[in-house]
C-alpha cells in the first residue's frame, strides 16, 4: 500500500516530464537541448507557458523559426510578468526575427515599470515595418556603387562583410539572408564569375616594423594616477568593467529587482549624487591588507577616478572581538601608500542606530524573526528549518529588544532574515549577541549586525553606485537586492570579479598568525610575506604594485599569478627610481701598492648611468679597496672573466685596471688579501670585465630573501600533504652581517631604495640604527630562470 502511494507521485512526475519534452521538441529543440532545458526549472516553466500561449494563437504546430524566438524570449526575458505580452507579438507575427526580439528585450529592460507605451515599444522593435525586395536592391546598389573602384581592384578578395554591414545599417529591419543574397547577386553581376586568380590565396602584407618609440606602451598606473603615455585605467578594466551600468540605470543590470518604488528611489539617488560614480573599499579591520587587496583597492579607487567619481574607505567594524586599532591605522596607511585618497573614511559602526531601526522595520514587515537555534544547528547548506520562523511579529519585536538589553547570552538568540540565498543557504543571520565592547561605541551595544545585513545597507546609505566585490560574494547578491527592496531603500548594484592570488605564498589571516606564532616569520610585515606592509618593507614601490594590478586586469575568472611577474614590474619601476651605489657582500681586501695619488681620489659615480643628467655622487678611492670574494679566483678557468693572477680587471668608474701581484693567505690557506698594481685604462690592455668595489666603506647588514615556501600551492593537501607549515623553505632568509657599502648612502632613511651595482635592488629596513644600516634585497637585477 505504502509502496503504491509512493509510486504515484513518481509516475506523475515522469508523465509531466514526458509531456514537457514533447512540447519542447515540438518547437524544434533537439532532445538533448530539451532535456537540458528541463533541468532548469525556471526556464522550463517559462518556456512551457510561452509555447502553450503561442499554440493557443497559432495552433498546435509551430514552425522552427517561431520556436527559436519563443525559446530566446523565455531564456532572456528578466521579468516573467511580461512574458505573455512579448509572446503575443511573436504569435501575431509582429516580431519575426532575432533582431526584433533583441530590440524588444532591450526596450523591456530599459522600461521596467508598467504601463508600457505600446506605440513607442512597437517603434523601437520595428513592428509593422516591411522591407520590400526593391528597397533591399536599392540599398545594396548604393553600397556597391560607393565601393565600386575598390571592388574592381580587389575583386573577390574585397571584404564582402563590409558591404553587408553598410546595407544592414541602411535597412535596420531587413532580413539578413535577403541582404546577403542581393549582395552576392550584384557582386557577381559587377565582377563576373570567379577566375583562377581570384581563387589564389591573398598574399600576406608585410608589416612595417614599428620604430621603438611607436611601440604600444606597457600599462602604467603611477600613484593612483593614470600615466599620460599609458592606456587609461578604464581601458585596463576592459571586459567586465565596460559592462557596468551608468549611475541611475541600476535596473538595466542582469538580476536587478525592480519594485514599484525603484524608479523614484533612483531619481532621488541621482539628485543626491549628481550622477557621480561612487565606489567603496570596505575592509574588515582585523588583519593586514595583502596583494589581493591591492587589486581591490586599485579597482575600486581606479574605477571611480577613471569615471570622475569618488571612492569611500569604509571599515566593516561589525565584529569587535577581532578588531584592533593597529589594523585601522595600517589599512589607511596602505591605501594612501598606493597613491589613493579616500573621498571619506567611514565605519559600519557610524550607522549602527540606523541599522537597528531598519532591523525593527524588517520584523514589522514580517521579513525577520528571532531564532534560538544554535550556531552548530544552522551551519552548512542543509540545516533544519527554524521552528521559530513563523513566530508572531510582536513576539519577535519583544525578543529582539531583549537581545539588545542583554537578556540573552551569546549564541542563545539571533535575528534571521526570511530569504533563501543563491547557494541554498536559508535565512541568514542579521544580528547576533556579543558581550564585547566596541572600539568606537564602547558598551552601548551587545548585539552586532552581520556582513549579510550590514554591507548592502551601508552601501545604500552612502549611495554607492557600484558595489565591487570578489567572486565568492556572488552567492550573496540575491540577499543584497532582497534586503534593500524589503526595506524600500535605494538599492545599489553588486558586481563581482575574480580574486588575485599569488603562488608560493599564503595570505589568510589565520595562516599568517600561525607563521608568526611558530617563529617562521617575524610579524605581518616580514618581507617574505605578501602583505602590503611586508612588500613595502621589502622595498616594492607602490607604482609597481599598481602596474601589476593593471596588467592582471579585472575579469570574472580568478587570477593566480607567479611572483616573478610582480617582481618584473618592480624592476621596471626601480630601474627608473633607484639611484646606483656600490656594496660588497663578502669583502676581500685589496691593497693597491702603486696607488697613483698621495691622498684620496674622489670618483664621480652617476646616479643613473643611462641618463647622467639626473645627477651623480662622489665616492672615495683609496689604496685599500674591497671587492667581492667571488670576483677573485686563484685558478683561471675557461670562461672566467674576473680577477685572477694572470687576468686583470677594471674597477668601475675609476678609470683604472688592477693586476694581482701577491696573494696573502691565512694559516688555513684562505685568501685574506690581495696586493695589486693599477694602470690607467687608456694605456692598459682592455680588461675582460669591470667589477664593483668600495673604499672607506660603511658597515651594514644585508638580508637576502627567497621564497618562503617550496611548493607553488603550499595550502594544497595534494601538493603538500603535511600542511603549509611543513613546506617552509629553510633558505628563505640569509643575513649577511658584515657587508660593506659605499659612503654615498650615509644619509639614507628607512624605505629609501638603491640599486647596488651587479647585485640587485635594495631598500633600507626600519631596523637600521646609527652606525649600522640594514638593507633588504628587494629583487635581483635579473629574473632567476629557475623561478620562472
Do 768 and 738 contact (CB within 8 A), yes or no? Answer: no
Chain centroid offset of residue 185 CA: 50
The reported pLDDT for the residue numbered 785 is 57
pLDDT computed for residue 774 by the predictor = 97
Strand pairing category for 310-315 and 344-347: parallel
Residue 656 has phi, psi (to 5 degrees) of -125, 150
Query: Cα separations (Å) of 666 from 612, 669, 670, 672?
Result: 43, 5, 6, 6
* β-pair partners for 776: 703, 763
- Taking the CA atoms of 776, 754, 740 and 674 in sequence, report the sign of the dihedral they define: positive
Q: Rounded to 5 degrees, what are φ and ψ at 300?
A: -65, -50
Residue 283 has phi, psi (to 5 degrees) of -75, 155
**Helix or strand or coil: residue 587?**
strand
- Cα dihedral 117, 123, 124, 126, rounded to 10, equals 140
Q: Which residues are catalytic?
A: 284, 499, 509
Coil, strand or helix: which one is 494? strand
Q: How far is CA 30 from CA 16, 25, 33, 62, in A?
A: 18, 6, 5, 15
Q: Where are the alpha helices (DSSP H) in 155-203?
A: 160-170, 176-191, 196-199
By C-alpha distance, which of 228, 292, 778 is closest to 548? Answer: 292
CB–CB of 652/690 below 8 Å? Answer: yes
CA dist 455 → 241, 295, 329, 491, 508 (Å): 21, 20, 21, 12, 21
Distance between CA 695 and CA 742 in Å, rounded? 7
Buried b (16+ CB within 10 A) or exposed e, 443-470: eebbbbbbbbbbbbbbbbbbbbbbbbbb
In angstroms, the CA 721 to CA 635 distance is: 46
Interhelix angle 176-191/133-146, rounded to 10 degrees, is 50
Q: Which DSSP category does 647 fall into? A: B
Beta strands in 682-728 (DSSP E): 690-691, 698-705
Q: How far apart are CA 473 and CA 480, in angstroms?
A: 10
On the 0-12 / 13-18 / 19+ scale of CB atoms within 10 A, 127 is buried
- In the block, cell 542606530 appears at 353
pLDDT in tens, 113-158: 778 889 989 998 888 888 888 898 998 999 899 899 888 888 888 8
Mind spelling out the 3-state secondary structure of 724-785? HHHHECCCCEEEEEEEEECHHHCCCCCCCEEEECCCEEEEECCCCECCEEEEEEEECCCCCH
The CA-atom distances, in angstroms, between 184 and each of 154, 161, 675 are: 15, 11, 88
Question: What long-range pairs does 472-477 form, CB within 8 A, spacing at least 24?
Answer: 472/499, 474/422, 475/421, 475/422, 475/423, 475/425, 476/421, 476/422, 476/452, 477/255, 477/422
Residues of the chain with pLDDT under 70: 1-12, 201-242, 381, 422-424, 785-788
Per-residue pLDDT tens digits for 343-379 = 999 999 999 999 999 999 999 999 999 999 998 888 8
Distance of CA 476 to the CA centre of its chain: 19
Spatial separation of the C-alpha atoms in residues 428 and 483, rounded to whole Å = 11
Q: Helix (H) and strand (E) counts for the chain? A: 25, 28
DSSP per residue over 82-119, as a string? Answer: GHHHHHHHHHTTS--SHHHHHHHHHHHHH--SSSP-HH
CA-to-CA distance for 502 and 707, rounded, in angstroms?
A: 12
The conformational region for residue 472 under phi > 0 = left, psi -120 to 50 = alpha, else beta, is: alpha
Is 563:364 a contact under the CB 8 Å cutoff? no
In whole angstroms, give the CA distance from residue 610 to residue 613: 9
Specify whether the CB–CB gap between 355 and 452 falls below 8 A. Answer: no
The burial of 431, by beta-carbon neighbours within 10 Å (0-12 exposed, 13-18 middle, 19 or more buried), is given as buried
- In three-state secondary structure terms, 518 is coil
Q: Give CA angle at 33 (38, 54), nearest 5°.
A: 70
Count of CB atoms within 10 A of residue 23's CB?
Answer: 18
Amino acid at each position: 500500500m505504502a509502496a503504491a502511494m509512493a509510486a504515484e507521485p513518481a509516475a506523475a512526475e515522469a508523465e509531466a516530464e514526458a509531456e514537457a519534452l514533447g512540447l519542447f521538441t515540438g518547437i524544434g529543440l533537439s532532445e538533448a537541448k530539451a532535456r537540458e532545458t528541463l533541468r532548469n526549472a525556471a526556464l522550463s516553466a517559462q518556456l512551457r507557458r510561452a509555447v502553450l500561449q503561442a499554440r493557443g494563437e497559432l495552433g498546435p504546430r509551430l514552425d522552427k523559426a517561431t520556436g527559436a524566438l519563443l525559446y530566446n524570449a523565455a531564456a532572456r526575458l528578466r521579468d516573467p510578468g511580461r512574458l505573455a505580452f512579448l509572446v503575443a507579438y511573436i504569435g501575431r507575427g509582429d516580431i519575426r526575427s532575432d533582431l526584433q526580439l533583441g530590440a524588444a528585450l532591450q526596450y523591456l529592460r530599459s522600461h521596467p515599470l508598467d504601463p508600457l507605451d505600446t506605440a513607442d515599444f512597437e517603434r523601437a522593435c520595428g513592428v509593422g515595418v516591411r522591407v520590400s525586395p526593391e528597397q533591399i536592391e536599392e540599398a545594396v546598389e548604393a553600397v556597391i556603387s560607393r565601393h565600386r573602384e575598390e571592388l574592381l581592384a580587389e575583386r573577390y578578395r574585397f571584404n564582402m562583410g563590409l558591404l553587408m554591414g553598410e546595407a544592414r545599417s541602411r535597412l535596420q529591419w531587413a532580413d539578413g539572408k535577403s541582404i546577403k543574397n542581393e549582395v552576392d547577386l550584384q557582386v557577381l553581376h559587377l565582377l563576373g564569375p570567379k577566375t583562377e586568380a581570384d581563387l589564389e590565396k591573398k598574399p600576406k602584407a608585410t608589416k612595417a616594423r614599428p620604430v621603438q618609440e611607436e611601440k604600444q606602451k606597457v600599462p602604467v598606473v603611477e600613484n593612483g594616477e593614470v600615466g599620460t603615455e599609458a592606456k587609461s585605467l578604464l581601458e585596463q578594466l576592459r571586459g567586465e568593467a565596460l559592462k557596468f551600468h551608468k549611475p541611475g540605470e541600476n535596473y538595466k543590470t542582469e538580476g536587478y529587482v525592480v519594485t514599484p518604488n525603484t524608479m523614484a528611489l533612483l531619481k532621488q539617488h541621482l539628485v543626491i549624487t549628481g550622477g557621480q560614480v561612487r565606489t567603496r573599499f570596505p575592509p574588515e579591520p582585523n588583519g593586514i591588507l595583502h596583494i589581493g587587496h591591492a587589486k581591490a583597492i586599485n579597482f575600486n579607487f581606479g574605477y571611480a577616478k577613471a569615471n570622475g567619481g569618488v571612492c569611500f574607505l569604509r571599515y566593516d567594524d561589525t565584529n569587535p572581538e577581532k578588531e584592533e586599532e593597529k589594523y585601522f591605522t595600517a589599512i589607511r596607511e596602505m591605501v594612501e601608500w598606493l597613491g589613493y585618497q579616500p573621498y571619506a573614511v567611514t565605519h559600519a559602526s557610524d550607522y549602527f542606530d540606523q541599522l537597528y531601526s531598519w532591523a525593527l522595520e524588517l520584523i514589522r514587515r514580517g521579513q525577520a524573526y528571532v531564532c534560538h537555534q544554535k550556531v552548530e544547528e544552522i551551519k552548512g547548506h542543509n540545516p533544519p528549518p527554524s521552528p521559530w520562523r513563523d513566530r508572531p511579529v510582536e513576539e519577535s519585536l519583544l525578543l529582539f529588544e531583549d537581545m539588545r538589553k542583554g537578556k540573552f547570552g551569546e549564541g542563545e538568540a539571533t535575528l534571521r532574515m526570511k530569504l533563501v540565498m543563491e547557494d541554498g543557504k536559508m535565512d541568514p543571520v542579521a544580528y547576533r549577541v556579543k558581550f564585547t565592547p566596541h572600539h568606537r561605541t564602547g558598551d552601548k551595544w551587545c548585539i552586532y549586525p552581520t556582513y549579510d545585513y550590514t554591507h548592502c545597507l551601508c552601501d545604500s546609505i552612502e549611495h554607492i553606485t557600484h558595489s565591487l566585490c570578489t567572486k565568492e560574494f556572488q552567492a550573496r547578491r540575491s540577499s543584497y537586492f532582497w534586503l534593500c527592496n524589503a526595506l524600500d531603500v535605494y538599492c545599489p548594484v553588486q558586481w563581482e570579479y575574480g580574486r588575485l592570488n599569488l603562488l608560493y605564498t599564503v595570505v589568510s589571516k589565520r595562516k599568517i598568525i600561525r607563521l608568526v606564532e611558530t617563529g617562521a616569520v617575524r610579524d605581518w610585515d616580514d618581507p617574505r610575506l605578501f602583505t602590503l606592509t611586508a612588500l613595502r618593507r621589502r622595498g616594492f614601490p607602490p607604482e609597481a604594485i599598481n602596474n601589476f594590478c593593471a596588467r592582471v586586469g579585472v575579469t570574472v575568472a580568478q587570477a593566480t599569478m607567479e611572483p616573478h611577474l610582480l617582481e618584473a614590474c618592480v624592476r621596471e619601476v626601480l630601474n627608473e627610481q633607484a639611484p646606483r651605489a656600490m656594496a660588497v657582500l663578502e669583502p676581500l681586501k685589496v691593497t693597491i701598492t702603486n696607488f697613483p695619488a698621495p691622498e684620496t681620489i674622489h670618483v664621480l659615480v652617476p646616479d643613473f648611468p643611462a641618463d647622467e643628467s639626473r645627477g651623480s655622487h662622489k665616492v672615495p678611492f683609496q689604496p685599500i679597496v674591497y671587492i667581492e670574494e667571488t670576483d677573485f679566483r686563484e685558478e683561471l678557468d675557461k670562461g672566467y672573466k674576473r680577477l685572477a693572477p694572470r687576468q686583470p680587471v677594471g674597477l668601475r668608474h675609476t678609470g683604472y685596471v688592477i693586476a694581482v701581484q701577491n696573494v696573502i693567505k691565512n694559516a688555513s690557506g684562505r685568501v685574506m688579501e690581495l696586493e695589486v698594481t693599477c694602470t690607467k685604462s687608456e694605456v692598459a690592455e682592455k680588461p675582460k670585465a669591470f667589477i664593483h668595489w668600495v673604499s672607506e666603506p660603511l658597515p651594514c647588514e644585508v638580508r637576502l630573501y627567497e621564497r618562503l615556501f617550496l611548493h607553488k600551492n603550499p595550502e594544497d593537501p595534494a601538493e603538500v600533504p603535511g600542511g603549509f607549515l611543513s613546506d617552509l623553505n629553510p633558505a628563505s632568509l640569509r643575513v649577511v652581517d658584515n657587508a660593506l657599502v659605499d659612503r654615498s648612502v650615509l644619509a639614507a632613511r628607512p624605505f629609501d631604495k638603491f640599486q647596488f651595482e651587479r647585485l640587485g635592488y635594495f631598500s633600507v629596513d626600519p631596523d637600521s640604527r646609527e652606525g649600522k644600516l640594514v638593507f633588504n634585497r628587494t629583487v635581483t637585477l635579473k629574473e632567476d630562470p629557475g623561478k620562472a
